[in-house]
Amino acid sequence: MNRHLLSAADLTRDDALRVLDTAEELAQLSNRPIKKLPTLRGRTVVNLFFEDSTRTRISFEAAAKRLSADVINFSAKGSSVSKGESLKDTALTLEAMGADAVVVRHGSSGAPHRLAYSGWIRGSVLNAGDGTHEHPTQALLDAYTMRRHLGGSLDGRRITIVGDVLHSRVARSNVLLLATLGAEVSLVAPPTLLPVGVDGWPCEYTYDLDSALSKSDAVMMLRVQRERMKAAYFPSAREYSRRYGLDARRFGLLPEHAIVMHPGPMNRGMEIAAEVADSDRSVIVEQVTNGVSVRMAVLYLLLGGREPMEEGA
Ligand code: NCD
């Protein structure tokens, strides 16, 4: 595997399967009374968050701690970034503190690449979401969740991703990773919320949600990302919800075995009805649980992969 994880496209099929299999092994740990391994003892993981986050930040923190790493949490709010400090000077500060891995979330697409290849820091860089570009660990935890529910392999499985694809780093990383894993992906979105260049993505797209749902093994609803919208992309929230929301009627179009996913945070009542989000076919809370095992696997493989995964080492 590469030293950094910046894009889902960095992962070969073997790499991705190794992460998912390792995550499965590590998940067993959560059933033990002491949920900790010594694997990354003495290593320092910095969570560098320039954008708001609940799940991803907590998840990386839990993952690093369960592997016994020292964790430093940095959020731009309340730091010298608000005094105008640059990404470079922030990075040099982290390097001076001996960061072995930097988990970065940034509003600008490409910021993690800049960190990884600038020479400012020597450790591994993990992209925890950059602008509207990528979020590779989210795609890995989504694939992990699908594998658990859809019977092991994703080859030939039909996954439908619905909503604000234009602003979604989750969608792009999922399309890339799912294609690597052999799944067939369909995007459904209003034409205004599909990115230019989507024709070159390894997936199909359609504007007809009802017919896509009846053929899906999993449906992933995306949040309407109003904070990234600088124009009106649809007439009204009501209209969006009517055309592209997963309500109880549409939920009924899914095959019996299909699962409902959402990366969170959800706009309940907009892209997904509350009763669907809380139904027994929804795996939204489980996605969060799985995120910890998957991020442990990524940290383990990037930082400590050669050491035995055992207690008492
Ligand atoms: C996503 C993100 O931040 O890209 N959330 C997440 O990481 N779980 C999706 C979103 O914000 O809608």
Supply the pLDDT for residue 305.
60
| CATH fold for domain 8-134+288-304 | Rossmann fold (3.40.50)
Q: Counting atoms of ligand 1 from 1, which one is nearest the CA of 129?
A: 4
Residue 32: per-residue pLDDT: 86
Token pair of 268 as six digits: 């309940």
From the CB of 55, is ligand 1 less than 6 Å away?
yes
Domain residue extents for the chain: 8-134+288-304, 136-287
CA distance 168 to 165: 5
pLDDT at 227: 87
How high is the pLDDT of residue 146?
Answer: 98
| Fold: same for 8-134+288-304 and 136-287 | yes
Closest atom, ligand 1, to C-alpha of 164: 12
DSSP string, 227-277: GG-SS--SS-HHHHHHHH-B-HHHHTTS-TT-EEE--S---BTTTB-HHHH
Q: Which residue numbers are catalytic?
A: 55-56, 83, 105, 135
Ligand 1 atom, smallest distance to 222 CA: 12
From ligand 1's centre to the CA of 310, what distance in Å? 33
Q: What is the CATH number of domain 136-287?
A: 3.40.50.1370
User: How far apart are the CA of 231 and the centre of ligand 1, in A?
Assistant: 20
pLDDT value at residue 269: 95
Q: Name the pTM for this structure.
A: 0.95
pLDDT of residue 251: 98
Q: Residue 265: is the preceding peptide bond cis (ω within 30°)? A: yes
Nearest-angstrom CA–CA distance, 121 and 133: 22
Look at residue 20 in the predicted model and tell me its pLDDT: 98
Distance in angstroms (rounded) separating the CA atoms of residues 219 and 160: 5
* The pLDDT of residue 311: 46
User: What are the residue ranges in the chain where pLDDT is below 50?
Assistant: 308, 310-313
Q: 264: closest CA among 306, 223, 294?
A: 223
Is residue 262 in contact with ligand 1, taking CB distance under 6 Å?
Answer: no
305 C-alpha to center of ligand 1: Å? 28
